[in-house]
A and B are shown apart, each in its own frame.
Chain A
Amino acid sequence: QKEVEQDPGPLSVPEGAIVSLNCTYSNSAFQYFMWYRQYSRKGPELLMYTYSSGNKEDGRFTAQVDKSSKYISLFIRDSQPSDSATYLCAMSAIGNTGKLIFGQGTTLQVKP
């Protein structure tokens, strides 16, 4: 069993839809939770960062962490064609090496 599981999709939605991306994990030591976005032929870039449990909102994006269920989500409201990308969840335990464990990535296509 992988430490972090993410549905690879692909996920195709119409413009304006609400998108829900999810990851589950098995390591209860994870405290840092991130979402990266990767456009085609580019490196990943950090989109959202959450420490421990709770919600975080940034514009059309909301990240949720439920540590009791070992489940994290990224919601995209009013999705746009420019949101078409691969979304990777990443997690880390407390420690000073900064090592991240990534999910497999979900490919999202938003159709105009």
Chain B
Amino acid sequence: DVKVTQSSRYLVKRTGEKVFLECVQDMDHENMFWYRQDPGLGLRLIYFSYDVKMKEKGDIPEGYSVSREKKERFSLILESASTNQTSMYLCASSPQGSRTQYFGPGTRLTVL
């Protein structure tokens, strides 16, 4: 079975802190994605990567950056956390050319 793991299920940070969210997949997938999920807004794509060291902006990249140094790991970075970044963050992966994305359990981030 494909497994996508995220470093934390729940995280509480303070405004201005630098926040790292880690995602690891064990199926050698080329594509990895970071979404945020908010009530009434569904899943919105923040960044995605289709290869190591490659990244592309999604629909809402402002305030975020990403890093993909190894194929299995995709990190989301909040450079200076703000209260409007309080959300559920979901990581996903998929094989090259496939539309089937496999999701991690999510990290619920609260920024105080």
Contacts and interface: CB of A to CB of B under 8 A. Distances in A.
Interface string B69-112: 00000000000000000000010101011111111111000000
A46 to B, nearest CB: 6
A98 B42 contact: no
Interface of A: 6, 8, 32, 34, 36, 41-46, 49, 88, 92, 96-100, 102-105
Contacts of A88: 42-43
A97 B90 contact: no
A26 to B, nearest CB: 15
A4 B15 CA distance: 33
A104 B42 contact: yes
Contacts, number: 61
Interface in B2-43: 4, 31, 33, 35, 40-43
Q: Give chain A's interface secondary structure class.
A: loop
Contact of B41 (A44, A99, A104): A104
5 contacts: A41-B106, A42-B105, A96-B50, A96-B97, A102-B44
Given A44-B90, A98-B94, 12 more contacts: A34-B100, A43-B104, A43-B106, A44-B103, A88-B43, A97-B31, A97-B56, A98-B50, A99-B33, A100-B45, A102-B42, A104-B42
